[in-house]
């Protein structure tokens, strides 16, 4: 395992500077002749967000010695794709709160939200074409297709109390980890890395993204709505079986399991606080965080394929933060 401690003298944070440049690219490329598009896209992107996926593009580019402007454009591309999926997802889930604000669907309606998601998604394709690199198109076309498959798979799994952990993991590898994987891989592709190094970068992204979604699902049970910027307990209300619930069901008594099965099948508010107590008492939350930690351990091991650098240390720290985050 690689050390995660910071060097004694901090190197200048090139990524922060580059992230500001990415924010400028994002602002410029958001522009549209259509006022409502401008308004909604700035509403959602202006609400912030952690910008993890663009950071992956930048850190892997830096770690492999690539500093061309294409990395800024592609960092903005992955944030646009991410934002398009959020707009669509909040409509599908009928969510009311995102990034501490009313969702775009709550503010502007479902139709406008879906359509502006389409705008961001297609703008992302205009931008990636401008980079003029076939492998980049290949990586992103594949990633977006898999994300959509993951979302449909998840829809098929709703209200299924017999969902296996393996099936749950498949959905999150598709819907979330795939974009992390693509972001990491793009840094390697831009830098012209060997196939072996590219696979290590992609593997890091996949494992980090998996850990990230596991923690996302954990926070839906143990988080604080205010800190999280979205409503806690939504997954159970929707009848979406996620890892905390699946692990709690394995550990609960027969009658408790029956209660949880009913909640997944019917997706209702009733029984929420009882189920929360069961999830806590069975240790399912700790086991869920441990599952995320195992993923990031794997991710960190893969970084041995990269030479030691400030960027590699930042990637190690990113994986630690992904597991211990509270928002």
Please, are residues 56 and 185 in contact by the beta-carbon 8 Å criterion? no
Q: Quote the CA–CA distance of 95 and 207 in Å, as a whole number.
A: 27
Using DSSP, state whether 13 is helix, strand or coil: coil
Residue range at the interface with ligand GRG (CB under 6 A); choices 4-12, 44-52, 188-196, 233-241: 44-52
Q: Does 52 bind ligand GRG (CB under 6 A)?
A: yes
Count CB-CB contacts under 10 A for residue 156.
11
Q: Quote the CA–CA distance of 308 and 323 in Å, as a whole number.
A: 23
Residue range at the interface with ligand GRG (CB under 6 A); choices 86-94, 193-201, 219-227, 298-306: 86-94
Q: Does 85 bind ligand GRG (CB under 6 A)?
A: yes
Among 44, 59, 74, 86, binds ligand GRG (CB under 6 A): 86
Q: How far is CA 2 from CA 27, 73, 307, 324, in A?
A: 37, 31, 12, 18
* Residues contacting residue 172 through CB under 8 Å, at least 6 positions apart: 150, 209, 210, 213, 214, 217
CB-nearer residue toward ligand GRG: 49 or 161:
49
- Tell me the closest approach of the beta carbon of residue 127 to ligand GRG, in angstroms: 15
Phi, psi values for residue 275, rounded to 5°: -65, -40
- Tell me the closest approach of the beta carbon of residue 51 to ligand GRG, in angstroms: 7
- Tell me the closest approach of the beta carbon of residue 4 to ligand GRG, in angstroms: 21
Per-residue interface string for the shown chain with ligand GRG, residues 214-243, x marking contact by CB under 6 A: --x---------------------------
Kindly list the residues in this chain that would bind ligand GRG in the complex (CB under 6 A).
49-50, 52, 84-86, 88-89, 92, 99, 117, 121, 144, 147-148, 151, 175-176, 213, 216
């Amino acid at each position: 395992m690689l050390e995660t401690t910071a060097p004694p003298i901090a190197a200048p944070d090139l990524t922060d500077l580059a992230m500001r440049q990415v924010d400028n690219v994002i602002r410029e490329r958001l522009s549209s002749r259509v006022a409502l598009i401008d308004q909604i896209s700035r509403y959602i992107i202006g609400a912030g967000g952690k910008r993890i996926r663009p950071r992956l593009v930048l850190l892997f580019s830096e770690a492999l010695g690539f500093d061309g402007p294409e990395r800024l454009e592609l960092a903005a591309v992955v944030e646009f794709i991410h934002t398009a999926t959020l707009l669509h997802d909040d409509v599908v889930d009928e969510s009311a709160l995102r990034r501490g604000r009313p969702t775009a669907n709550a503010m502007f309606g479902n139709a406008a939200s879906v359509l502006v998601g389409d705008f961001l998604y297609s703008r992302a394709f205009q931008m990636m074409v401008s980079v003029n690199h076939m492998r980049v198109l290949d990586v992103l076309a594949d990633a977006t297709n898999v994300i959509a498959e993951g979302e449909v798979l998840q829809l098929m799994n709703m209200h299924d109390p017999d969902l296996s952990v393996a099936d749950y993991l498949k959905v999150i590898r598709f819907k979330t980890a795939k974009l992390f994987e693509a972001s990491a891989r793009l840094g390697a592709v831009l830098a012209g890395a060997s196939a072996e190094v590219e696979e290590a970068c992609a593997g890091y992204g996949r494992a980090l993204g998996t850990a990230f979604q596991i923690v996302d699902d954990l926070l839906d049970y143990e988080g604080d709505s205010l800190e999280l910027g979205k409503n806690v307990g939504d997954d159970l209300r929707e009848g979406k079986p996620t890892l905390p619930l699946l692990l709690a069901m394995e550990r609960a008594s027969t009658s408790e399991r029956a209660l949880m099965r009913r909640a997944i099948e019917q997706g209702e508010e009733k029984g929420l606080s009882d189920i929360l107590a069961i999830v806590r008492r069975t240790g399912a939350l700790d086991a869920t965080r441990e599952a995320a930690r195992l993923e990031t351990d794997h991710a960190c091991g893969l970084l041995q394929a990269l030479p030691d650098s400030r960027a590699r240390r930042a990637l190690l720290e990113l994986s630690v933060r992904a597991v211990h985050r509270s928002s």
